[in-house]
Amino acid sequence: MADQQALDEVVEYTSGLIRIDTTNRGGGDCRERPAAEYVAERLSGAGLEPLLLERTPGRTNVVARIAGTDPSADALLVHGHLDVVPAEAADWSVHPFSGEIRDGVVWGRGAVDMKNMDAMILAVVRAWARQGVRPRRDLVVAFTADEEASAEDGSGFLADRHPELFEGCTEGISESGAFTFHDGAGREIYPIAAGERGTGWLKLTARGRAGHGSKVNKENAVTRLAAAVTRIGEHEWPLRLTPTVRAALAELAALYGIEPDFGHVDRLLEKLGPAARLVEATVRNSANPTMLDAGYKLNVIPGEAVAHVDGRCLPGTEEEFGATLDALTGPDVEWEFAHREVALQAPVDAPVFAKMRAAVEEFAPGGHVVPYCMSGGTDAKQFSRLGITGYGFSPLKLPVDLDYQALFHGVDERVPVEALHFGVRVLDRFLRTA
């Protein structure tokens, strides 16, 4: 059982990590090393021998192994990232890198994504060192750089250049799972991620005939691009149910006493009410235009226009996704992947999922654990190259008035102290039994 010191340390470490500004703006503009050194110092204090690894100077990852009591058992990877997305201080109630603790809440960028989980891992590992606890299976703990961009300096680098550090790991846990989802009717649902949609960030390029803005131009690159972007933005993607999403719908339907009619999924989602939010983004692919770049002067028609689209696809739909983009962009617009990562699925009937479920239910006996698929992606994609099956499991018990999902990359990101205490207890229970 996590002791009082562990409960105190998880709050201290969450706040401390937030105060270290590890903003990742993409394009290599980030420096995680100070946070990595903070983590490594605390792992060393627990008797471990952490390795600090870099592909690029300042883009630091930390990896350590805890030996289990059963050398024949497969190892488990526990990982969290150290970087965070940008935050504009003027938009926040408190400074986003203050790590302020006010009224039982820790404030700042990274409070839920995901320096809270980093702190939980540290608190549990240090509690075990004090108590002389060893897990059944080897645990590899990894704190990564660059998750909020391409992961090339983080989990991608570790998987490609240091696979030996993850020898024996068959499963892994990380962010975005086992948090409280309040359904508005008094139920507490705890979704555990057992899948992720694939990442397909797209660059669209339209070319045409440059010319004077006052002249008729039927080969206007901006017009061609705008038409393609509009078609993509308005496209209705067809329903595609993966095993993970089907399992999520089945368990949610059972919870609400509804017949899981998979032939009419949209109707089923309507019957689930607010709980539909857990699955509605993962019953189909998506492609959302996010950036436009064209021209250099108002009265000049440019010869080229560029757009970027955030595409996400479900497992097994990659060919369909590409064919659909070919049709939507048309003959006058080229498209390519600016960044691409695989979709993931993890079995929900695996023993490790049952142990995660049991750990949550021990400390949230009135809660209902269900599987779900993440609409976005995590470092689990890169670690899957090593044959590691990934789950989202960073437990938090949250109050009704705190919308966990809205806090990701949002303003006034924060996490209650009690939620961190719950997370340490659940993570400690799971890792002892996993």
Report the C-alpha gap between 339 and 341 in whole angstroms: 7
Q: How far is 429 from 360, CA to CA, in rounded Å?
A: 9
To the query of whether residue 219 is one of the catalytic residues in this protein, the response is no
CA distance 405 to 403: 6
Q: What count of residues does the chain have?
A: 434
- Known catalytic residue at 103: no
Compute, in degrees rounded to 10, the torsion defined by CA atoms 46, 114, 358, 390: -100
Q: Among 9, 12, 83, 379, which one carries the catalytic annotation?
A: 83
Q: CA distances (Å), 19 to each of 7, 95, 114, in order?
A: 19, 10, 13
**From the candidates 147, 148, 175, 413, which is the catalytic residue?**
147
Report the 3 state secondary structure along the chain.
CCCHHHHHHHHHHHHHHHHCCCECCCCCCCCCHHHHHHHHHHHHCCCCCCEEEECCCCCEEEEEEECCCCCCCCEEEEEEECCECCCCHHHCCCCCCCCCEECCEEECCCCCCCHHHHHHHHHHHHHHHHHCCCCCCCEEEEEECCCCCCCCCCHHHHHHHCHHHHCCEEEEEECCCCECEECCCCCEEEEEEEEECEEEEEEEEEECCCEECCCCCCCCHHHHHHHHHHHHHHCCCCCCCCHHHHHHHHHHHHHCCCCCCCCCHHHHHHHHHHHHHHCHHHCCCEEEEEEEEECCCCCEECCEEEEEEEEEECCCCHHHHHHHHHHHHCCCEEEEEEEEECCEECCCCCHHHHHHHHHHHHHCCCEEEEEEEECCCCCHHHHHHHCCEEEECCCECCCCCCCHHHHCCCCCCEEEHHHHHHHHHHHHHHHHHC
Q: How far is CA 51 from CA 13, 24, 63, 142, 380, in A?
A: 20, 22, 5, 10, 20
Tokens 């799971």: give the residue.
Answer: 430
Q: Residue 292 is encoded by which pair of tokens?
A: 């436009």
Q: Which residues are catalytic?
A: 83, 147
